[in-house]
Structure 1
Amino acid sequence: MVVITLLLPISVSAGLFSILRGSSNDTDLSPDKNIQNMALLVAVATPFGDISHIPEVEDNALVSNVGPTGVADSEVKKATSDQISIYVVRPGDTLSQIAEMFNVTVNTIKWGNDLSSNTLKVGETLVILPVSGVRHAVVKGDTIASVAKKYKGDIDEIIAYNELKKGATLAIGSVIVIPDGEIAASTSSYSSSGSSSSGSSNKEYSGYYIRPINGGRKSQGIHGYNGVDLAAPTGTPILASAGGEVIISRASGWNGGYGVYLVIRHSNGTQTLYAHNSRNNVSVGDKVKQGDIIAFVGSTGKSTGSHVHFEIRGARNPF
């Protein structure tokens, strides 16, 4: 059994998602709490290997946006790290505390881990997805469908993330988040970090990765977090694109739309993600070699048709 120590970030500035909690005022961006005024917690052992490869929380940049009324009616939140983090729940932890640590909202954690309540179990493993999206202040006439269309979002994801009911009426003045939403290019926006909302990287490791399936076809190019969709029949073997250690293996659930998925951490500091699988063939902690069968193609989660959604986090996706 491999044991590691989970390190907490010592200093971070207010994160983008943390400004969303409890406020419907577009211009009030001051957080009421941050990691600097929250008591530090004791580190614990986790079963996920060398923690040095799990990214520390960094400062997030706020992208201001001038809306059609001449004021900032929506903002883009961009994660400065495109890698997925892992957290093991300790005695006394709350979702709000953990959200503060990682500069995300409580809903980000609940959405990515299929949590229906705020109750946590000691020892439970949480996946912290670096979710990007758009913050929108509801105005008269807005509906979930119209907001989804405006920002090229997904209705089901908006409902799930914001804990809404299908067909619900949006309250004027309330604030909702559109996961992976986009603001039209014609709208003015500025970023202090210059980071890409797609989570892509300019780093290139020529020949390091192999295509994760044999055959099939590319059904969608780069989208989301530096991912591509490779269509193939259900049950087609999915191969490890590079050797490494399995750090996440979710065998069921929505999981932020990924469905059945897994993540491998590689020695070059990158991660690869394989989603919508029919089933996984590996478990957390497994060491895999390039070309090993790690899962099988399916259509779980947010998926239209049998395919593998393949992401490379921390490097350019050559596929």
Structure 2
Amino acid sequence: MVEIGEFIIFLKNYFLSRLISAGQIFEGIKDIIVAFLIVKRGKYSSSFLNTSFLMIVAAAIVGGPIIAENTPFLQSLNNQNNYQALVVSYNPYGGSLGTVYSVKPEIVSYRVVAGDSLASIAKRFNLATNSIKWSNNLKSDLIKPGQVLSIPPFDGIIHKVESGETVYSIAKKYKVTAQNIVNFPLNDFVDIDTFSLNSGQTLFVPEGVIENKPVIQTQFIASIQAGVRGSSNFIWPTSGGITQYPVVYHMALDIANPSSPPVLAADSGTVVYAGCLNWGYGCHVIIDHGNGYQSLYAHMSSYSPNIGDSVS
């Protein structure tokens, strides 16, 4: 190791001395070269420029590829040019062509099974209950096994166009804007400029609603007579179907009468209560038939008899 260190020091001193000698020689001849160039100035300028230009061209030819290969910026530009060349030279007719058909949402038919309800079916199809109810013209939420329901592909209303209807009349009917119907991609029109419709075609009304018709409350109408005793023969007090029979927690008979016929006394008797509450029976009347029976008429909007009146 000592010998290697001494050799390195020797080399260092040798090269240093040679550089110093070369510098001294250059200093000695520098003045001679300068004087010669001053005397000959202009004579070699053309040759010098031509030689310099040729050297620059040669350096560009030789060193250009080396610089390009080792410069990331130039590589990215080359890649971009390659991409552009690929795009320009692409032949769209070189391969096989085909039509891609989009899947158009359609109305689905669903058969009700035991245990189903409108709410559970709506949840299964991610819809609002009213959307299924309106699409099937259901008057209530009651459904039965085996019943086939039309399930819309969206929340809203499926409307079958009738003669004379327009986009504007349908939009007004279902409380939406005409633009809402026109913009829906599943709707087709006879004339795209006037948005005319064909009678019988199906039109989708997104976000449409059907307003419930105002229900006319039943009124208590009874003929008033004095001193009437019940016959124990009860009559049907009004027309309509039974919506609920008596059970332990609901000892009453619910009768639906959407056509609003008069409500009559089921048998002759005397009114022992007539009034309205904010809970329970609401506006109701109780009749004592004088034979151990009483009848109660509840959930009315108004009533005619007063306490103590006799009715038949």
TM-score, normalised relative to structure 1: 0.24
TM-score, normalised relative to structure 2: 0.24
Q: Which has the larger radius of gyration?
A: 2
Higher relative contact order (CA 8 A, sep 6+): 1
Instruction: Answer 1 or 2: which has greater helix percent.
Output: 2
